Structure 1
Amino acid sequence: MVVLIAGGTGFIGKATEQAFLAHGFKSLVLSRFPTKPNHILWNPSAPFKGDDRLSEVTHVVNLMGESIATKRWTESRKIALTQSRVETTHYLFDLCKEHCPKLTSYIGISGVNAYGYSNTITRDESDAFGTDFLSQLIQKWESAHRDFEFLPSFHMIRLGMVLSNKGGAYESLSPLLKKGLGAVPGSGEQYVPWIHLDDVSNLICFLSQQPQKSVVHGVAGCCTQRELMVAMATSLQRKIRLPNLPAFALQLILGERSELLTKSLMVSTQKIYALPFELEFKEMTDTLFKQ
């Protein structure tokens, strides 16, 4: 079996490729800047030149999308965030339709920020999309994923914050935490859905081999921002000593993007725990950042 990973050179993509290799798959990775023999050059803004290896692809994993957390959400940035998910997914579909005759399975990721925010309501996968920017982005993204819904195996994973010591939020915050400069955003009581990187990669590999269709939260649990920051600091043998960062200050600094830190979101984990799949990391502790 051969898996084709779009977005395979990033934080989640590298771990996902290793998970498939551990399960006996061969891997191919679509990349704008190929650096390895199994990388295939592609650019969604240019015609695809083809590659004979695609004829053996049986599984596709779509992890594409520019980071929502790294830049201010200007209008031009919002367009880039949308195009890097929606247009590229349509392009991927056209590529697979022409070059991957053996394709039977598709995994597309999106996000749990699909419902808007709430301090009191726990959202499940059947709830309606919200009206804010991220909710509408995810709705468009998942609509593009559904190009592949005709396949026997089709799954969309709405990911929470992906945690590991190999990248993501930990990589950005650990230099500050080491210097004792970490602080809790907002009140610290706002909820954050999370999952460990190893569980994400193994979940993707597991679901890709299930001949059914589903939408599932890729979430091990929901913790508060305070619990998250304390766990990160503890993993570095540090404590959070600074006062909380006020929400209004984060709004001034980050703009609309500050909602990722200051607003609360709780989602159901019932579906993921009902799967015949065992999460390795289920509790928010410092051990999450030592793997």
Structure 2
Amino acid sequence: MKVAITGATGFVGSLLVQRLHGKGHQIVVLTRNTAFAQKVFPSEAFANVEIVPYTPNASGSWQSVIASCDGVVNLAGEPIGEGRWTPERKQEILNSRKLGTQKIVEAITNANPKTEVATTGSHPLAEVPSVEGSGVGTPATRRLPTVLINASAIGYYGTSETATFDETSPSGNDFLAQVCQVWEAEARKVKDAGVRLVILRFGVILGNGGALGKMIPPFKLFAGGPIGSGRQWFSWIHVDDVVNLIMQALTKPEIEGVYNATAPNPVRMADLSQTLGQVMNRPSWLPVPGFAIEALLGDGAIVVLEGQQVLPKRTVETGFEYKYPNLQSALRQILN
């Protein structure tokens, strides 16, 4: 299998590349920073990785590389939890997802002309009609991308302390919900080319880095505690389960549509703080007041001060087996 990946040098993407490479697959890393990608994936250790420069918001020669791939995983997007949400920053968050996905879909669509498709195994082959007068009696065939796995986020649902959301729930109306709506709408256009689409709405991903990496230092200094009221929901997932979900979506043609990439047991922020303290053998006693987060992040404080209780109903129905369904086991693996 040959897979093109955007966001490949990031928290999830780098682990996905390692997993695919370890299983002998070919990977195309689409990146804005080839020098950094070469450090993350040195050729002597990653012989099956091809690093290709690309500009997410512009067409280019990188798009032609996608035509040789079986699947595309689109993980790229500006981080939402870093810095204040100025009007300019909010536009960057939106455009990085909207325009980036737009160009990925454009590349896949151009690689998938509206022609008859004959299925061989799990990979369709698009039939290219013979050219009149060419003397070629048998039509040629070429391999085309058959699946797009596109990231989204549980911010799609908005926030609530009391409601429960699954994949059938309506969208919210705050900024992040609107971003996710636009993001997913761009991805859905790939279905016009007959390409299987899987949208993964990510919860808070736990691993060595990411959101958890910002919470650990205060606990190490015996100054840890819940953020804000502590009552906001925290719908999480271990990064290993994220990679396993993507692998399942790549290899199982029956997987299609929207899936919540969250663990089946969300917790409230106070429970997260308490469990983290127990695993680290540290107290959880010093709350971080909401006004301090608001002063630091402005509108972006919604990411940590408000949350949503999200259940992975469709994900569980696929038979997916979580390696870390409970928070304590996930934190113990990461920290120990």
* TM-score (normalizing by structure 1): 0.92
Report deviation, 1:131. 1.0
Report % sequence identity. Answer: 29
Alpha-carbon shift at residue 65 of structure 1 (Å): 0.5
Specify whether residues 168 and 117 from structure 1 end up closer, same or farther in structure 2 by C-alpha distance, changes over 3 A only.
same
- Residue pairs, 1:116-195, within 5 angstroms: 116-150=158-192, 151-164=194-207, 166-195=208-237
Mapping of residues 79-90 of structure 1, within 5 Å: 79-90=91-102
Q: Specify which structure has the bigger relative contact order, considering alpha-carbon pairs within 8 angstroms and separated by 6 or more residues.
A: 1
| 3-state SS, counterpart of residue 150 of structure 2 | strand
3-state SS, counterpart of residue 142 of structure 1:
helix
**Which one of the candidate residues 292, 315, 319 is aligned to 1:249?**
292
Is structure 2 residue 148 aligned with structure 1 residue 106?
yes
Cα 1:153–1:24, aligned 2, differ >3 Å: closer, same or farther? farther
1:40 aligns with 2:52: yes
| 8 Å contact from structure 1 (residues 235, 289) kept in 2 | no
Q: Secondary structure of 1:44's partner?
A: coil
Mark the CA change 1:82 to 1:50 in structure 2 (over 3 Å): closer, same or farther: closer
Contact 1:176 1:182 in 2 (8 A): yes
Deviation at 1:61, TM superposition (A): 0.3
Q: Secondary structure at the match of 1:28?
A: strand
Separation (CA, whole Å) in 2 of partners of 1:48 and 1:170: 36
Residues 93-102 or 13-22, more deviating:
93-102
- One-letter amino acid of the structure 1 residue matched with residue 15 of structure 2: A
**1:196-211 correspondence runs (5 A):** 196-211=238-253
Instruction: Give the counterpart letter for 1:168 in structure 2.
Output: G
3-state SS of 2:293 partner: helix
Q: SS where residue 149 of structure 1 aligns?
A: helix
Following TM superposition, by how much is the alpha carbon of 1:248 offset from its aligned partner in structure 2, in angstroms?
A: 3.1
Query: Which one has a bigger Cα radius of gyration?
Result: 2
Distance (Å, rounded) in 1 between the aligned partners of 2:214 and 2:307: 21
Give how far 1:152 is off: 4.5
Q: Which amino acid aligns with 1:87?
A: L
- Where in structure 1 are there 5+ consecutive unaligned residues? none
- 1:219 corresponding residue in structure 2: 262
Cα distance in 2 for residues equivalent to 1:97 and 1:252: 44
Q: TM-score, normalised by structure 2?
A: 0.80
Instruction: State the secondary structure of the residue aligned to 2:155.
Output: coil
Q: Output the aligned Cα RMSD.
A: 2.0
